[in-house]
Structure 1
Amino acid sequence: MTLHEYQLSQLDLLEAESVHVFREVAAELERPALLFSGGKDSIVMLRLAEKAFWPAPIPFPVLHVDTGHNFPEVLEFRDRRVAELGVNLVVASVQDAIDRGVVREEPSGSRNRIQTPVLLEAVEKNRFSALFGGARRDEEKARAKERVFSFRDEFGQWDPKNQRPELWNIYNGRIHLGESIRVFPLSNWTELDVWQYIGRENIDVPSIYYAREREVFSRDGMLFGVNEFCRPRDGEPTFIEKVRYRTVGDATLTAAVQSDADTIEKIVEEIAATRITERGATRGDDRVSEAAMEDRKREGYF
């Protein structure tokens, strides 16, 4: 094979870029951590981090902001995967913050927005200088604005109008005391790329990503699974539908989608044909306003 005939696939190129980002952060910043929700994006990030430093262990901890409203399958997966890799798990508990009076639970029962102060407290307590997040630019308008290295000030806030240039993939990790960087190794990936990579690498994912018959009810044009955190209101009858979850979030406001995709191959086929992102299709918190995500990111959200 001659040099000009040697080509990398789309997934190989994305993997190489993400591995480079992980290594760059390890070289530039002193105390990074990987945000891990147990969702597909953070699962892929963990796999990329494993590859970036192999055969050495992953040189930073995993941080989970635990809302207390998690899908049980996701928590089980989180603990099992962390144990397999032998990485240090740091849990920042929203329930603990409520008990201590740091945050106040919202009337809606959702804890999505009050994750932010809990995250910022964990960053300060553990002196994390960088956090790896699984955000992708195809997910949502605000995330499409963000750099790979996203600078946060001493209050953990993001200014979309004041970002550092990243010409020729040169990343600037310079920070002062109290400041931090949010790093997004999957910025240039799409949901389809993520699922194709999961299939290629034979990566295990929580069972809620696979379609099966579940008890659901309809609200605001979305199908919500019945669980201990999400119950139907008066006038919302429940029924059995074959559904799966495209994203893992707060169980009080994360909806499912009708699907027959019960294998990775079927999920890839389904995602290739869809024209709406997973957040737009299944996340009730992003329907508050057009700028809901950007407002939360300005406050310090991942």
Structure 2
Amino acid sequence: MKKAKKKATQSEWLIFIDTNVFLDFYRLGEASAKRTLETLKQHDVVLITTDQVWMEFLKNRQKVILDTIKNLTKPTEQALPSAVSYFKAAKAFSSNQSKSIELYKKVIIVIEKILKNPARYDAVYRDLNKLFRRNSELNLKRPDKKRYEIRRLARKRFSLGYPPRKDDTLRFGDAINWEWIISCANADVKKRNVIIVSRDGDYGLTRGQDTFINDWLQMEFKERVSRKRKLELTSRLSVALKKIDVQVAAKDVAEEDRVADETLPELVARPTRIRIPASQFESGEWQRRFQEAFSKLMIENSAAKSKA
């Protein structure tokens, strides 16, 4: 009789969430953001966190908030022709225009309060502040002296050009986070696997919804931690939460997909999509045009080779 396959449980995974994913809480719809934040609070015992991520979050918080409202334009009050101004619908239209302008002003006031005093008016800030201030063996923060050793190792790997790092930066924040991930994995008595949630390309590549951990990081994890334990990368927080048996609502997954598609950096590999009108597809016109373009390309390549 075959043994039943062991189901993954919360005790088998640790989760590291990169700064770009935490900033998504300002891009998600309000209901999805609240539910996901509440889930993180309930499962903070498996979260690997650093004050480096918190610093980067605070550095970019205001910019992300302003970016999310850049399409919010002030309503304009339009005067109706006198010929229709006496009708009930016209009066309601004018009244609603005035209400829209007043509501817009109130929204701007709220945004200014969130920017100026997040501790009082920003729910996302308050919840994440508690998360990054919590006392935990998985949270690297002041005054923990482990930070000095982690920084030393991070400087060394950065100077050698090891990932995770961006080629055009002199900052080694990603290296700090990685060294802390390794430290937490080695110190973990439960020997849990690790999943990284990130979308900025530092830890690997993303193609559509598929993610590929950097080859060197995978090998390094096996050599420094364990060949038996897993290291995975995902661009979706919902994927990581499912690893610890959290039931993520379908509407929250859809909302996260929307935000992820909008914020994936251009350097990340994306699938190429070709749109073919239905009329051309049915008539076979697209096949003829494709063959013509391909033949032209082959002729040009042959000509270039002969000249060379």
Shorter-normalised TM-score: what interval? 0.3 to 0.5
The structure that is strand-richer by fraction is 1
The structure that is helix-richer by fraction is 2
TM-score (norm 2): 0.34
Query: Bigger radius of gyration, 1 or 2?
Result: 2
